[in-house]
């Protein structure tokens, strides 16, 4: 029996789900109170250090939401300065702006101007009602963005990726704000915010930490480095301060005055840890643990974290991730640099596996269950390596019923050529049965490809060469030799040597890639972590793994081959013993002893 109360409960749940979906699509993740207070306090400390003049002060939050950041800022600024403050806020969520208006009413400031519109829109119209002090009723995006009249910006701008934005809006934003590559909405916000800020003005930015370490964040790193004196950087990692899966970071920066030298930027980082340190400090909250800026292990409600404190080291190359460094890590990296002969990318190609963008059509482990006339020709079905089967050193136990991919290409004298369907009637029947699904991938057709092609293919001639494969996401390094002829899927990457490089180098690279040394190197140089300590082993990082000098290449290769032989023979005790020797030898090859 359906009751009125049950219908109301269902309706409420539907509204909750719709609200969450809408927030995700719009990048709306409002700032928790404690985090807002932490950001505001850090921002105000830096602003007061600059010794503000006696003139009026303009404050902007271009994505103000329900006003949490503005309230936190006003609570952090000495009340004696409130009468000089002109507050500007923008947001597309009218209900949230109404709440901001109500919350700000208790503060005695010079003026409050709120816009129920997108900060990036062509024209901003302030909300109705009397304007106090600053009259911004005629403010447009162009005049506001190019006025460079704002003293303080505090913001948690929307984080919306290219695929959610849609290609048309992404192209529009790229054109308006001079963006290239993968466009995120917060990139446009940061550029527009910069243009509103006067020289010497202060910005407190809360956003995704992805820009610190990914190739897609290169343009943001370059922009921040060129336009600002960076003062403080906080990577909040997997502290789970937001409902969303976004891992946040804080940037405190002063709009650059080119006659002043950039001072070191403090860098604090906090991630969950598996440490069992009994001396770990206990705190009530993540914000409390961060506030002290004391390095070491901490405990918060039975969760363990590691706090790291240092300074930012950035590179002239915008594609190099930003690094948290200290005297000890500088010395460590210098030792590695002195003992390496190069990097993986000097001797090998590192690339992502194939991406079909229609795995339910192209990838199966039950091809034989299809009607005989629809089972694709054997030469088009290939064994597929995915992250599900990844193991260190070599993959075992998947020969019985591996996933197979229908690969609609053949080798044509070393080149890849898409098949003609009339030459493969059984594959043609199968693909035709899924034609609607495949043709919906408009981007494939727009790229001048046939409707039954996959999105990211590789040359079949490469598959027979020796190769190392590894999963994209893993808490530990899992690199393994892949059998000749097997295709690597897009949830993994693979490494093949340049043609002139001896095969021994591949085995030495396998040893280095599986070592505890390379985990330490990764965490110092890249530190692209997700929740629960999972790392992203992308090609841009693995290409930069260091290679030891020739004498260690030989010894590491021989040791790795011995380990593989023990593994093949099922001698687990010997395998573990050799693995420990290989690990120690890797550390030694870079002039270091193994760290505990």
Helices (H), 482-571: 504-513, 516-525, 539-542, 550-568
Please name the residues in contact with 358: beta carbons below 8 A apart, sequence gap of 6 or more. Answer: 434, 437, 438, 441, 454
Q: Is the pLDDT of residue 438 over 80?
A: yes
* C-beta of residue 158 within 8 angstroms of C-beta of residue 26: yes
Phi/psi at 459 (nearest 5 deg)? Answer: -75, 125
Q: Among candidates 302, 282, 301, which has minimal Cα distance to 292?
A: 282
pLDDT at 347: 97
Mean pLDDT across 566-572: 92
pLDDT at 371 over 90: yes
Euclidean distance between CA atoms 519 and 35, whole angstroms: 30
Q: Any idea what DSSP says for residue 54?
A: S
Per-residue DSSP letter, 31: P
pLDDT single digits (tens) 402-420: 889 999 999 988 889 999 9
More confident call, 459 vs 20? 459
Cβ-based burial of 139 (10 A; exposed 0-12, middle 13-18, buried ≥19): buried
Q: What is the pLDDT confidence band of residue 133, given thresholds at 50, 70 and 90?
A: very low
pLDDT higher than threshold 60 for residue 457 = yes
What pLDDT was estimated at residue 370? 95
Give the pair of three-digit tokens for residue 558: 């021989």
Q: Is the pLDDT reported for residue 36 higher than 60?
A: yes
Q: Is the pLDDT of residue 157 over 80?
A: yes
Residue 399 has pLDDT above 70, yes or no: no
Distance, in Å, from the CA atom of 249 to the CA atom of 208, rounded to the nearest integer, reads 6
**pLDDT value of position 315:** 73
Place of tokens 């409130």: 82
Better-scored residue on pLDDT, 428 or 275:
428
How many angstroms separate the CA atoms of 46 and 203, rounded?
10
| Burial (Cβ within 10 Å: 0-12, 13-18, ≥19) of residue 207 | buried
pLDDT band (50, 70, 90) for residue 142: very low
Least confident of 31-40, 47-56, 480-489, 530-539: 47-56
Asked if residue 317 has pLDDT above 80, the reply is no
- Max mean pLDDT among 123-127, 243-247, 587-591 falls in 587-591
Q: Give the span between the Cα atoms of 55 and 108, in whole angstroms.
A: 17
Residue 417 DSSP one-character state: E
Residue 182 burial (CB count, 10 A): 17
CB 110 within 8 A of CB 58: no
Catalogue all structural domains in the chain, each as residue range(s) with its CATH number: 26-263 (3.40.50.150), 350-589 (3.90.220)
**Phi, psi of 115, deg, nearest 5:** -115, 125
Contact 28, 65 (CB under 8 A): yes
Output the pLDDT for position 24.
45
Identify which has the larger pLDDT, 16 or 184.
Answer: 184
CA distance 79 to 108: 9
Say how many C-beta atoms besides its own lie within 10 A of residue 74's C-beta. Answer: 23
Per-residue pLDDT band at 139 (split at 50, 70, 90): very low
User: What is the model's pLDDT at position 176?
Assistant: 72
Listed residue (359, 348, 367, 380) closest to 489, CA to CA: 359
Interatomic CA distance for residues 586 and 24, integer angstroms: 44
Q: How far apart are CA 404 and CA 127, in angstroms?
A: 59
Please report which confidence band the pLDDT of residue 259 belongs to, taking 50, 70 and 90 as the band edges: low
Res 479: pLDDT: 97
Model confidence at 20: pLDDT above 50: no
H/E segment holding residue 24: helix 4-26
Q: What is the pLDDT of residues 293-316, one digit of tens each?
A: 888 898 988 889 899 999 998 877
Q: Using DSSP, state whether 339 is helix, strand or coil.
A: helix
Return the minimum-mean-pLDDT range out of 318-322, 519-523, 543-547. 318-322
Asked if 273 contacts 239 with a C-beta cutoff of 8 angstroms, the reply is no
Query: Which class for 574: exposed (0-12), middle (13-18), buried (19 or more C-beta within 10 A)?
Result: middle
pTM: 0.81
Cα(296)–Cα(292) distance, integer angstroms: 11
Per the prediction, the chain carries an average pLDDT of 85
> Beta strand 381-385 with 348-352: parallel, antiparallel or unpaired?
unpaired
326 pLDDT above the threshold of 90 = no
Contact criterion met (CB below 8 Å) for 187 and 209: no
Top-confidence residue, 369 or 24: 369
Q: What is the DSSP letter of 533?
A: G
**Segment 181-232, tens digit of pLDDT:** 666 788 888 999 998 999 999 999 998 888 898 888 888 899 999 999 999 9
131 pLDDT more than 70? no
The 8-class DSSP code of residue 354 comes to: B
Residue 67 in this model has a pLDDT that exceeds 60: yes
The residue whose two tokens read 């890249």 is: 526
Q: What is the pLDDT of residues 511-532, one digit of tens each?
A: 999 999 999 999 999 988 887 7
Tokens of 131: 């304007």
């Amino acid at each position: 029996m359906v009751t009125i109360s049950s219908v109301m409960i269902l309706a409420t749940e539907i509204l909750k789900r719709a609200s969450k979906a809408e927030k995700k699509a719009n990048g709306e993740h409002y700032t928790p109170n404690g985090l807002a207070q932490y950001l505001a306090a850090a921002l105000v400390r830096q602003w007061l250090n600059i010794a503000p003049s006696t003139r009026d002060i303009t404050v902007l939050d271009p994505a103000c939401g329900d006003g949490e950041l503005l309230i936190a800022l006003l609570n952090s600024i000495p009340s004696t300065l409130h009468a000089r403050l002109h507050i500007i806020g923008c947001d597309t969520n009218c209900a949230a702006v109404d709440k901001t208006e109500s919350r700000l009413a208790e503060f005695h400031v010079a003026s409050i101007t709120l816009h129920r519109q997108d900060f990036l829109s062509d024209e901003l119209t302030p909300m109705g009602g009397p304007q106090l002090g600053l009259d911004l009723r005629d403010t447009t995006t162009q005049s506001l963005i190019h006025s460079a009249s704002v003293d303080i910006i505090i913001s948690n701008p929307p984080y919306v990726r290219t695929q959610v934005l849609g290609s048309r809006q992404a192209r529009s934003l790229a054109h308006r704000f001079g963006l290239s590559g993968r466009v995120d909405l917060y990139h446009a916000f940061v550029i527009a915010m910069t243009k509103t800020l006067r020289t010497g003005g202060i910005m407190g930015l809360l956003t995704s930490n992805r820009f610190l370490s990914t190739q897609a964040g290169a343009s943001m790193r370059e922009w921040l480095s060129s336009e600002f004196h960076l003062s403080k950087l906080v990577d909040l990692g997997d502290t789970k301060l937001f409902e969303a899966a976004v891992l946040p970071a804080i940037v405190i920066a002063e709009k650059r005055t080119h006659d002043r030298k950039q001072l070191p930027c403090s860098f604090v980082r906090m991630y969950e840890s598996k440490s069992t340190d009994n001396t770990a400090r206990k705190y009530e909250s993540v914000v409390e643990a961060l506030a002290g800026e004391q390095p070491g292990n901490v405990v918060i409600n039975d969760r363990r974290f590691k706090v790291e404190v240092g300074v930012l080291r950035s590179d002239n190359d915008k594609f190099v991730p930003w690094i948290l460094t200290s005297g000890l890590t500088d010395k460590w990296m210098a030792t590695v640099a002195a003992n390496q002969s190069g990097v993986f990318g000097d001797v090998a190609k590192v690339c992502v596996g194939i991406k079909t963008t229609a795995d339910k059509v192209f990838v199966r482990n039950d091809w034989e269950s299809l009607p005989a006339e629809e089972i694709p020709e054997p030469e088009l079905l290939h064994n597929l390596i995915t992250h599900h089967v990844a193991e260190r050193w070599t993959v075992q136990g998947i020969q019985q019923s591996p996933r197979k991919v229908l690969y609609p290409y053949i080798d044509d004298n070393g080149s890849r050529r898409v098949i003609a369907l009339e030459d493969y009637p059984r594959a043609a029947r199968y693909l035709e049965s899924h034609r609607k699904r495949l043709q919906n991938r408009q981007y494939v057709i727009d790229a001048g490809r046939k409707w039954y092609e996959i999105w990211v293919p590789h040359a079949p001639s490469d598959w027979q060469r020796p190769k190392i494969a590894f999963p994209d996401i893993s808490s530990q390094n899992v690199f393994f030799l892949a059998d000749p002829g097997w295709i690597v899927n897009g949830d993994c990457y693979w490494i093949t040597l340049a043609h002139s490089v001896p095969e021994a180098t591949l085995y030495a690279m396998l040893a280095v890639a599986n070592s505890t040394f390379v985990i330490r190197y990764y965490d110092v140089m890249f530190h692209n972590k997700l929740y629960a300590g999972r790392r992203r082993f992308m090609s841009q990082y693995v290409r930069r793994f260091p290679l030891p000098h020739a004498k260690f290449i030989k010894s590491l290769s021989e040791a790795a081959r011995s380990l593989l032989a023990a593994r093949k023979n099922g001698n687990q005790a010997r395998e573990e013993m050799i693995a420990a020797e290989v690990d120690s030898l890797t550390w030694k090859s870079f002039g270091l002893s193994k760290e505990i």
